Amino acid sequence: MRKTTIRSSILKVAVALCFMTTAASVSATENTDKPVRPAVSEKPYAMMQQLAPLLGSWSMVTSFSQDGGKTWQQSPPVEVEVKLSHKGMLLSEEPKVPSETEFNMRSFISYDQYRNVYRNASVDDVWGIMDLYEGTIEDGKLVMTNLKSGTFFPISETAWRAFRLTFDLTAGKRQLHIEASDDGGKTWAPSFEVTYTAINTP
């Protein structure tokens, strides 16, 4: 009788330990798949989710104009990857294979919940300028300029060029319109047209 009781107790303990181990494993998996966010993170996380149409693998073709949009030249297509990281707080765009002949750009976007603006930091591998933009979503488009930061590009000894970026938040195929201003944002002219076509990956 005593042996039966001991065996029964051992069996109950073993079952309990098995259950606890399984529960801990499930809990760890859930924590890995879904990062725990404090309440203060909810707004910026939600705002970054609005940029979801930008995510994925894309074939990017850039057209550029040096005469205000009258004539255009086109660069070879480049494959880029756009993804969210840093617990969903940072969007990055980087070339999958950096070009040896064209300049490459890396861009990072986050959201400032205290000033209610998106910020974009873009760095090229030729001039090395970290260009800083701020903006908001307007009519389904993310519109940003570098007017506030003043990270303009010199085009002569006396003139500096500002840029305005307009991201089309359309899934599948989208465009980035880049306009230039040489008078501090009073007037804008077409400068770059970037077309993104989704790459179907298995």
Q: How many domains does the chain have?
A: 2
pTM for the full predicted model: 0.80
The residue range of the domain holding 148 is: 43-198
Position 65, amino acid: S
Helix, strand, coil distribution of the chain in percent, nearest 5? 25, 40, 35
Q: Both 29 and 74 in a single domain?
A: no
Q: Both 76 and 151 in a single domain?
A: yes
Q: Which residues, 6+ apart, have CB-to-CB distance to 81 below 8 Å?
A: 56, 57, 58, 93, 94, 95, 96
Q: Is-contact 80 62, C-beta < 8 A?
A: no
Q: Both 54 and 20 in a single domain?
A: no
pLDDT tens, position by position, 41-100:
999 999 999 999 999 999 999 999 999 999 999 999 999 999 999 999 999 999 999 888
Q: Both 75 and 149 in a single domain?
A: yes
Confidence of residue 21 (pLDDT cuts 50, 70, 90): very low
Q: Is-contact 65 191, C-beta < 8 A?
A: yes
Q: Both 124 and 150 in a single domain?
A: yes
